[in-house]
Amino acid sequence: MTHPVAHASIVYWRRSIWNGRRCVPVLMTLDQGWLRARDRASADLFAVPAGQVSGRLSRLGTLLLTVGGRRYALVGRGSDISPKPSPEQRRDFADFWAGRPAPASGGPGFLDLVFNGAAAWQTRTWRDALAAGGAALR
């Protein structure tokens, strides 16, 4: 059984394992059973019911999602040369959380926070939110 879950954050879609410029920010939201991802131009990458999403969290903290037959490698932060989130992404993120309670979680571990900018914590919270929302994650 799934429970109503609301979650949002800006993650990075690692479109290339070698080129940091191709690790691009994506605003991902999970609300009312729907998972949506929008790029820097606010165009939808996908908008699907959470139950149509499958994937797993890798040992290195990459959230590997399959949506509509396409695989997305999502990480908690980009490289130093990755594009920054657009003002629209930041505004939409703030609007999503306006008037909602902050997600209940323990927060990132010290080492993840200091050395990794809490990137692993961010992908773990997505894994947990998607599983609670009905996605097939292993």
Q: What is the model's pTM? A: 0.86
37, pLDDT greater than 80: yes
Average pLDDT over residues 111-135: 74
pLDDT at 115: 45
Give the pLDDT of residue 61. Answer: 87
Q: What is the mean predicted confidence (pLDDT) over 31-48?
A: 95
pLDDT classification of 18: cutoffs 50, 70, 90: confident
Q: Is the dihedral of CA 46, 77, 120, 98 positive or negative?
A: negative
Q: How far apart are CA 104 and CA 35, in angstroms?
A: 19
pLDDT confidence bin for 53, thresholds 50/70/90: very high
**pLDDT at residue 25 above 60?**
yes
String of DSSP letters for 86-137: PHHHHHHHHHHHTTSPPPP-----HHHHHHHTTHHHHHHHHHHHHHHTT-EE
Query: Which residue's entry shows tokens 């930041």?
Result: 90
Greater confidence (121 vs 132) lies with: 132
Residues 71-109 have pLDDT tens digits of: 999 998 888 899 999 999 999 999 998 988 766 666 655
Statement: residue 112 has pLDDT above 60: no
Task: Summarize the confidence of residues 21-29 as an average pLDDT.
Answer: 94
Torsion of Cα atoms, 114 then 120 then 126 then 131, to 10°: -140
The answer to whether 63 and 55 are in contact (CB under 8 A) is yes
Could you tell me the domains of the chain? 7-137 (2.30.29.30)
